[in-house]
Structure 1
Amino acid sequence: MSEKVFPSNAPEIEAQRERLAEAGGPGASSPSASTLAHRAPSPFWLDRLLEAGLVLSMALYYYAGNSHLGSGPFFHLSPLATLPFLFVFMILCWYRPAMAIALLPLSLPLYLQQKTVFSHYSFSAAEIALWSCATVIVIQALVWRRRWPYWLTWSELRARLGPFLWPILLFLGAAAFSIVIAYNRTVALRAFREEVFDPLVYLLLALCCLRTRQDLVRLLLALFATGLLIAFLGIGQYLDLLAHGASLSDLPRINTVYGSANSVGLLFDYTLPMGLALMLMPRVTTSGFLASWRCRLLTLALCLPLVFVLYLTRSGGAWAACAGAVIFLIACAIADRRLLLICGLGLTLLAGLGLLCFHSNISSYLLERHANAQGIGTLTKRLYLWESALHMIKDSPITGYGLDNWLCHYSLNNVCHSTNLYHYWITTDPQTHQPTGLRYEPDLSHPHNIFLQIWVSVGIVGLLAFLAVLVLFFWLLFRILGHLYRQAEADPWLVWGTLGIGGAMVAALIQGMVDSSLLEQDLAFCFWILVLALLLLRVLSKTPWRSQSASVRAM
């Protein structure tokens, strides 16, 4: 079965853009193109202008009339008065839908500051950008029909998804069913739309529209730029706190646009490894920008703001996650398996010796970290949270309790009024009868473990589907890496992309063991963007789903 990497009837601008990208950029243009450079911008600068136009038009639409982002007259315009900005975005999207789709990650951090679109209906920037792009793409497909350059038949789409199709459909079905059994169906429906349906719609649109290596690189760079944007906001918050008299000893944890510093760390799990991969990736070529010291130096300069803000969050889970991503990237960069085994055994031995010699200090540090007024640390409270989640799962292991319905069954709180339900929170230890500290935080919105949260939310079917996606993800990741490393001259951008998304998934899963790294709108988009990028990498690297020997046996 053949797969189309490039649309056969794409506009000439797309073909010219890809030829220039493969040749190394605008500097590789022909003499005739350089002659016309004085009359019109080069394709490189045209792309930059279009990217700036897309970002600026959506930012102006989202900020104008959004009272959550400011108090001046500009932030209190009527929704109708801000529509011209949205029309500009959609016009630019009509011209380059692939570019608009690839830049969508830049809209993810503002999902809590939603804009009123009409009446009392409010949506995040990611949702507005997504459905604006979807509207343009559907109209294009209806107008151009078979001449639409991004058209995929069902068999081609099925080939791109491969074995991921059924776990994704199962996860979607389990999430949809959770609305039916949820105590608060309104909340469950909203969570389904924001955290499951919209990200999967984005996955589908991107699989159709993103075809070239340049599209993939733009997507991953946009994801990294999202973390960089939050890092700059974090530095601004840090300087503002210092300007208002806060000392370094009692400086609050940096949380930027989020309500929690851990949320900043969770976003960095998905973004910082993209930069780390550029610094730590092996040299698969001796020439080009990615093989130069300038690339490493520039990447280091761009990663430093994220590392600094990550330190200011004081999120132990995020620190451990990024450390795990670094270890993963170093391990992937070691080609010699014997050396890799020796390094792995040595690292394990050092970790074991450190734990043996300093176990008392380590346990005290972990248990007393971020202690409340009663001296109870966050790790201790997490242990009781996990116990509460396991009790909930024991009573409803098959169906769970519905998306975002944890609080209805967990505690008495002001978020979900559920006085007629049994509440599972553990306020005193049943053995020691000492307070657990959870009584003072009745509005903890999830069990702080990605697998427990999915099981409580969408049941055992959803959890198994999610686990299947993870298994397939790492199986395909190492398959692509092996395929690229076996090539004499592997494409360095594809190697970087594969390492970056692998490190990001490792980091997300590590912090996900003590936090929520999926069922939030920005994190759900980030997770499925990693899956999407891996599927695109498989096509661009021409990695088959099955080995040739397996294909021969099947015949």
Structure 2
Amino acid sequence: MLFSGQPGARAELEFRGSAIDLEILEGPGSGMARIWIDGSDARADLVPKSAGGVARLDLYATESGFAAVPLASGLPSGLHRMTLEVVGARAPDSAGELVMIRAAIAGEPAPRWPIWLGTAAAAAGAALALGSLLNWWSGRWRWRPVIERVQIADAPALLLAAVLLTLVATIPAAGPGDPWFWIRLASLAALGLLGTAAPAALATVTVAGWLLAPVAVPLGPLHLNPGELGLAALTGAWGVRATLLGRVEFGIASRHLPLLLLFLGAALAATAAAEYPKVAVRGLRLLVLEPLWLGCLVATYLVGRRRLLLAGAVAGAAGIAAVLAMLSGGIEFFADGQLARLRGPWGSPNGLALVLERGLPLALALALAAAGVDRRIGLAALLLAIAAALLATLSRGGWLAGAVGAAALAQIAWGAARPFLGRWLAPLVGLAVGIGLVISALAGFGADTLDVRLRLWGSAALMAGDNLWLGVGPDNFLYRLPDYLDPQMWREPNLSHPHNLLLDAWLSLGVAGVAALALLLTRSVSVIARGLTGRSGALFWADAGILAAMAAGVVHGLLDNFYFRPELAAFFWLFFAYSLAVERDPLGDRREGLPGDPAVGGRLRPETAF
């Protein structure tokens, strides 16, 4: 039995295994304790974290008693050290600061692969049974002509899909014994049913949901983001359509598959080699598998002129993010409470800025292309909301990226109208970006932040040198950083990524992943840029806006995150899907004949206005 209420008192324990729990006293006189595993807050993955990533247990409870509190799981097998420190703080209702430990339980948990294998087998069996039933119905009731002919107009389908996804995301958390749980599942099923007749509408709202990934939606024991729920419904609709139509709808041409397989293979190899497989598998799901599949489905259903829906969804999601952040009261204080920065559900102001900076040039482009006073007023309001929230983040990297996005949009538009001036404007924009990066690094970030950033890059480079080919795996940087942490960075021990797109990709995906990411990006940019030639109207502005949004993301990615957040990974693959839509419809007036893109008189509707 160990106990103390003295601030700074510590207990240390060495243990073998991949998981550890503490039997610790919770009660009206208990205080708070900080936990480290191997000197890292992050490795105590089951302990609640503060905004700064500090692992801290609040032991206050109305009734006194010992409880088994899990601290960590998924650790590499071997010897580890757990450190507990009495914080000397307590909850407002607590009568004391006591921390009392009765026992520690460490070891290897039961393997989970039999559970996953059984679940996968059950899901496969259910899918085969459903497919057989649908095939029988298709032949008996002739569903194929019905599915092919039923078309729901974009506006009503979009409105209904948005309402259903919002309902799924906002219904109160509940377990299977609560009616709300079944109402949420029924709404999700209705969303999938809508997607069988209007897949483009469901794909559009799913795009918006993915860019709001930090908004967690409880579904029984799971916590999913709105985009994941939309993706599940869209995948179900895709499977039902494939069964009833007797063909698989897939918008990725075979010539593009090698690059996708290279990226996927690099991610799988890095995950398999990761020292912390639990977080690596989660990162693989959220950062690679689901966003990539989203891009494939979007490339299938948002083709031709319907890519305007994709551009609108990205801009609209940024507007929703701005409003959510301002209404949620999520504000982060610095400098002893004297400096307030907007962050909302995104966890950090910079995380919010990474979304807003991509939406800003797209909203500006769509506002410039809008026809009608009502649309112009609506898009202007959207643009102002995004700009105001971006300013309120006080993210200098976000400000710089937003300015670069707006400048890139101006360069594209000005260059198209006045080619001579456009040839000079591009170098000037590049020069302005370079000057902005230097000023931001030397002045905007501050001397302390610049020093930390340089030391972080040095630590990340050492880590990359020791893990040259495969990196450390998705989401493993935070857990491996203590082994490479510069002693002068003791105030920033919980940084989750190296704040540089090259180092982040290298450490997360390895050398092959960096090559695949670079090739996918350059190919997509090249296709969209070439497609601007000879284009006009709404499609021109949407194409220019998506290019400017990616420019903003790349610039901020040099100093922060570019890909390795769920919403940023989704944007990358949406950008790739957008380039496929441009490539397959280079003049904006050719019909590909894919589902979800009906033509008017054999040709797409005029593209003169959005």
**TM-score normalised to structure 2 length:** 0.66
CA distance in 1, matches of 2:299, 2:331: 43
Q: Is the 8 A contact 1:212 1:540 kept in 2?
A: yes
Structure 2 distance, partners of 1:295, 1:61, is 28
Q: Distance in 2 between matches of 1:76 and 1:63?
A: 15
Residue 406 (structure 2) pairs with residue 315 (structure 1): no
Structure 1, 95-104 or 315-324: larger mean CA deviation: 95-104
Which residue matches 2:266?
174
1:225 maps onto 2:316 in alignment: yes
Q: Distance in 1 between matches of 2:282 and 2:548?
A: 30
**Closer/same/farther in 2, CA of residues 59 and 400 from structure 1, 3 Å limit:** same
* Counterpart residue type for residue 52 of structure 1: L
Matched, 1:205 2:297: yes
Tell whether the 8 Å contact from 1:65 to 1:75 is kept in structure 2 after alignment: no
Q: 1:10 to 1:56 in 2, by over 3 A?
A: closer
Taking a change above 3 Å as real, the CA distance of residues 539 and 390 of structure 1, as seen in their structure-2 partners, is same
Residues 226-272 of structure 1 deviation map (CA, whole Å, 9 limit, x = unaligned):
0111111233256x979xx99xx935210111110111110013211
Contact 1:66 1:76 in 2 (8 A): no
Greater RCO, CA 8 A, separation 6+: 1
SS in 2 for 1:318: helix
Asked if 2 retains the 8 angstrom alpha-carbon contact of 1:63 and 1:75, the reply is no
Alignment of 1:241-252 (within 5 A): 250-252=338-340
1:344 Cα offset (Å) = 4.8
Identify the match of residue 543 of structure 2 among 498, 512, 520. Answer: 498
How far apart are residue 176 of structure 1 and its match?
0.8
1:303 to 372, 375, 383: 383
Counterpart of 2:561? 516
SS of equivalent residue, structure 2 residue 498: coil
Equivalence map 1:141-160=2 (5 Å) = 141-146=242-247, 151=249, 157-158=252-253
Does structure 1 retain, via aligned residues, the 8 Å contact 2:525–2:579? no
Equivalent pair of 1:110/1:257 in contact (CA under 8 Å)? no
2 CA distance for matches of 1:400 and 1:241? 35
Q: Deviations 1:457-501 (Å, cap 9, x if unpaired)? A: 11111001111112212221221112x34xxxx4x2221221011
The aligned residue for residue 49 of structure 2 is none
Between stretches 87-96 and 508-517, larger displacement belongs to 87-96
SS at match of 1:122: strand
Q: Pick closer, same or farther for the CA change 1:350–1:209 going to 2, 3 Å.
A: closer
| Partner SS, residue 505 of structure 1 | helix
Match in the other structure for 1:131: 232
Match of 1:269 in 2: 357
Larger radius of gyration: 2
Give the strand-richer structure, 1 or 2. 2
Distance 1:222 1:75 in 2: 35
Alignment match, 1:117: 219
Question: Given the superposition, is the C-alpha separation of residues 49 and 471 from structure 1 closer, same or farther in structure 2, using an over 3 Å criterion?
Answer: closer
Per-residue CA shift, 1:309-343, capped at 9, x if unaligned?
Answer: 10000001111111111221111112333322344
Q: CA RMSD in A?
A: 3.4
Q: CA deviation at 1:442?
A: 1.4
Letter in 1 for 2:406: V
Point out where structure 2 has 5 or more consecutive residues left out of the alignment.
1-143, 590-610
Task: Give the number of the structure whose residues are more often helix, by fraction.
Answer: 1
2:419 maps to which of 327, 337, 341: 337
The 1:234–1:125 alpha-carbon spacing in structure 2 relative to 1, beyond 3 Å, is closer
- What are the within-5 Å matches in structure 2 for residues 426-445 of structure 1? 426-428=486-488, 438-445=489-496
Is residue 109–residue 522 contact of structure 1 (8 Å, CA) maintained in 2?
yes
Contact 2:316 2:382 in 1 (8 A): no
The change in CA–CA distance for 1:342 and 1:205 in structure 2 (over 3 A counts) is closer
- The residue number in structure 1 matching 2:205 is 103
Does the 8 A contact of 1:109 with 1:257 survive in 2? no
Match of 2:173 in 1: 66
User: What's the CA shift string for 1:43-84, capped at 9, x where partnerless?
Assistant: 4xxx433322222222222222438xxxxx999866345322
CA distance in 2, matches of 1:204, 1:348: 32
Change (3 A) 1:136 1:454: same
Percent identity (aligned)? 25
Measured in 1, the distance between the counterparts of 2:426 and 2:295 equals 35
> Offset of 1:199 from its aligned partner?
1.0
- Contact 1:114–1:125 at 8 Å: present in 2 too? yes
Q: TM-score if structure 1 supplies the norm length?
A: 0.72
Partner SS state of residue 448, structure 1: coil
